């Protein structure tokens, strides 16, 4: 194990221990913050779900439109014949 990996491992362990101790000491404050953040988290999460569902709805509608166009028999398109230009007519005479 390299020196950098060992340092990262020790720092990670220290951070976990300190975090657990502070969570126990500040439990009531943690619960207060969690209660205060719950409403905005639900509102933002719900907005995200609505945006994703709306995008999926639009994509399904577009796919249905393209599928119905592909299933319709295509009519051959006739291109109008273009009249010869005056320079072509004089060169052929």
What pLDDT, in 10s, does the model give residues 50-91?
999 999 999 999 999 999 988 887 666 666 656 555 555 555
Q: What domain range is 57 assigned to? A: 3-69
Is 91 a domain residue? no
pLDDT (tens digit per residue) in 1-16: 899 999 999 999 999 9
- Whether residue 82 is contained in a domain is answered as no
Distance CA 54, CA 46 (A): 12
In total, how many domains does the chain have? 1
Q: Please check whether residue 85 lies inside any domain of the structure.
A: no
Asked if residue 61 belongs to a domain, the reply is yes
* Mean pLDDT of the 26-46 span: 96
Residue 12 within a domain: yes
Rounded to two decimals, what is the model's pTM? Answer: 0.53
* Joined tokens for residue 32: 């207060």
Tell me if 9 sits within 8 A of 2, measured CB to CB: no
The pLDDT of residue 73 is 73
């Amino acid at each position: 194990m390299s020196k950098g990996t060992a340092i990262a491992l020790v720092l990670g362990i220290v951070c976990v221990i300190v975090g657990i101790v502070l969570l126990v000491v500040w439990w009531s404050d943690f619960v207060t913050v969690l209660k205060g953040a719950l409403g905005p988290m639900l509102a933002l999460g719900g907005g995200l779900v609505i945006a994703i569902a709306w995008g999926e709805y639009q994509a399904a509608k577009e796919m249905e439109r393209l599928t119905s166009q592909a299933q319709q028999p295509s009519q051959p398109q006739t291109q109008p014949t273009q009249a010869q230009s005056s320079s072509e007519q004089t060169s052929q005479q």
